[in-house]
Amino acid sequence: RMELVESGGGSVQAGGSLKLSCTASEYSYCMAWFRQAPGKEREGVATINIGRGNRGGETYYDDSVKGRFTISQDNAKRMVYLQMNGLKPEDTAMYYCAARRTYCSVLHDADSYNYWGQGTQVTVSS
């Protein structure tokens, strides 16, 4: 069973930056970052196809984070990152790393991912 471990969360002021990291115990085809705020559903933030074949490196973003967040990978280390710049109070949530064993072609719903990390909290104050 694949294990995912997130790190890098914390508290920042609006306009600040954070970089989240996710380490996977195995290779997968697609990894993503989701977030869930209290009382809200889990929503996809960004996804990346893992560097293998001609689909590797493809990325997809939710409109709310385009231009502010960047997802990237270090395939040799089985790590995925989420660089978050220009953070807003509405970005406050628990952020989860997820993986699936097929390539992604869009920002898929949470149900399509097979493995999840425990989450890391991001809090943005105004």
| CB-based burial label for 15 (10 Å; 0-12, 13-18, 19+) | exposed
> What's the token pair of residue 84?
């978050």
Residue 38: per-residue pLDDT: 92
pLDDT over 90 for what percent of the chain?
Answer: 86
Query: Which of these ranges, 1-10, 48-57, 117-126, has the smallest mean pLDDT?
Result: 48-57
What's the average model confidence in pLDDT over 97-111? 92
pLDDT tens column, 24-76? 999 899 999 999 999 999 999 999 999 767 788 899 999 999 999 999 999 88
Kindly give, in sequence order, each residue whose CB lies less than 8 Å from that of residue 84, ignoring residues fewer than 6 positions away. Answer: 17, 18, 19, 20, 65, 68, 69, 91, 122
Confidence of residue 100 (pLDDT cuts 50, 70, 90): very high
> What's the token pair of residue 8?
């890098």
